[in-house]
Amino acid sequence: MDVIHLEIDDPRWREALGRLRHDFYHLPEYVRLDGEWNHARPMAFLARSGGEELFIPYLLRRCENLFPESMASDPVYDVVSPYGYPGLLLSDAGRRSPRFAQQVMHRLSESLRDMGACSAFFRLHPLLSQGLSEIFPGGFFTPAGETVAMDLTVDEADLWKGVREGHQGTIKKCRKLGFVFRMVSLRDHVDRFLEIYRETMDRVQAKDSYYFGREYFARLGEMPGHVHCGVVESEGRPAAACIFFECGGIVQAHLGGTRSEFLTRSPFHLLLYSAAQWAKSRGNRYLHIGGGVGGARDRLLQFKRGFSRLRFSFSTLRLITDDGKYRDLTTRRARTANVPVEEFSGRDFFPAYRAPV
């Protein structure tokens, strides 16, 4: 088995994607952007044995900034997926080989430990990871909720039937009020989108990690072949907006929001359904709307469920690659937060040493 950790500019990255079914989250330009935004090193793990192949994009992060005091030992790292649903890509031959799946996970853990990483947290792709739990050892993946997708292969009538009656009424009302949907270039509408998005994040009191800067959205706008911006307008004024990624027959709803003054008319309902119609017209198979905040069964998930009965399970892969370093970081973090280490370790958050206090 050949194993390598690829740098972002390695041509073998794109060559691997050419052999594997993938999504926008696996593209090197997206992983690079997310790495720069998170001050982490964008990389990918690639393992091959004949036709059996595994590919995982990731961000390599340093752990020193978690503590006020300097760490006397060598630098310690951990690994996390880029934002969204990248997960792992497994070739068809790899999917037929539990032996390969078990061996490659051992090599992944071993090679990450050799790089100085003590843990790895991967968010799996709900649509591309179906059936993986039957290949990997029992309990290998951690269930993290469900996500919602719209099946774009059905005819227009069935696409509409899949929408909850209340959502249908809201969409009809928006059309009657004169709201209009347009798919536009994000590059030309960054500032308009950013105003709506920040207003939405302020209104819902979002975590700091959701406040992406203008440069982030401007860089996304430089990928027009894959990145689009859906806008719903009222008399020429933007009422709601959402960024969509398009790749390999899958359209992903990324980030979006609604202006507060239009909130009672719910234009985002019209935006998502119109985006599904747009994506269908371009020959895509799915519009993946996603799940709740952090995989929770919350109001956001309930809203998304109203657009489709098609659900996918969402899981994560959690690896402790160096027990000693992991315990040391968790103990340091607990001591810094003045929390008993047992309480810190007992939380569901992974890795435990990055749990919010």
CB 204: neighbour CB atoms within 10 A? 13
d(CA 174, CA 169): 9
- For residue 277, give both structure tokens: 């119609």
d(CA 108, CA 334): 28
Helices (H) and strands (E) in the chain, counts: 12, 13
Are 314 and 147 in contact, with CB atoms under 8 Å apart?
A: yes
Q: Which residue has the higher pLDDT, 276 or 69?
A: 276
User: pLDDT of 123-133, one tens digit each?
Assistant: 999 999 988 88
pLDDT at residue 342, rounded to an integer: 85
pLDDT at residue 296, rounded to an integer: 57
d(CA 48, CA 315): 24
Identify whether 137 is preceded by a cis peptide bond (ω within 30 of 0): no
Q: What is the DSSP string of 112-166?
A: HHHTTEEEEEEEPPTTT-TTGGGTSPTT-EEEEEEEEEEETTS-HHHHHHTS-HH
Q: 304 — alpha (psi -120 to 50), left (phi > 0) or beta? A: alpha
Are 190 and 214 in contact, with CB atoms under 8 Å apart?
A: yes
d(CA 357, CA 86): 27
pLDDT at residue 346, rounded to an integer: 75
Residue positions counted in the chain: 357
Instruction: Tell me the average pLDDT across 90-119.
Output: 94
Within 8 A by CB and 6+ apart from 332, the residues are 66, 67, 353
User: pLDDT of 143-185, one tens digit each?
Assistant: 999 999 999 999 999 999 999 999 999 999 999 999 999 999 9
d(CA 41, CA 60): 5
Confidence of residue 266 (pLDDT cuts 50, 70, 90): very high
Within 8 A by CB and 6+ apart from 97, the residues are 52, 135
Quote the mean pLDDT of the chain: 93
- For residue 94, give both structure tokens: 């790899």
Q: Dihedral, CA atoms, 93, 95, 98, 99, nearest 10 degrees? A: 30
Residue 257 has pLDDT above 90, yes or no: yes
What the chain holds in terms of domains, given with CATH numbers, is: 2-146+314-354 (3.40.630.30), 153-284 (3.40.630.30)
Q: Which long-range contacts (CB under 8 A, 24 or more apart) does 123-126 make?
A: 123/81, 123/84, 123/85, 123/86, 123/87, 123/314, 123/316, 124/85, 124/87, 124/88, 124/314, 124/315, 124/316, 124/317, 125/23, 125/25, 125/85, 125/86, 125/87, 126/85, 126/288, 126/312, 126/313, 126/314
Q: 5, exposed or middle or buried, with CB in 10 Å at 0-12, 13-18, 19+?
A: middle
Residue 82 has pLDDT above 60, yes or no: yes
Coil, helix or strand at residue 255? strand
Are 196 and 243 in contact, with CB atoms under 8 Å apart?
A: no
Does this model's pTM top 0.85? My answer is: yes
From the list 325, 333, 352, the residue with the least C-alpha distance to 115 is 325
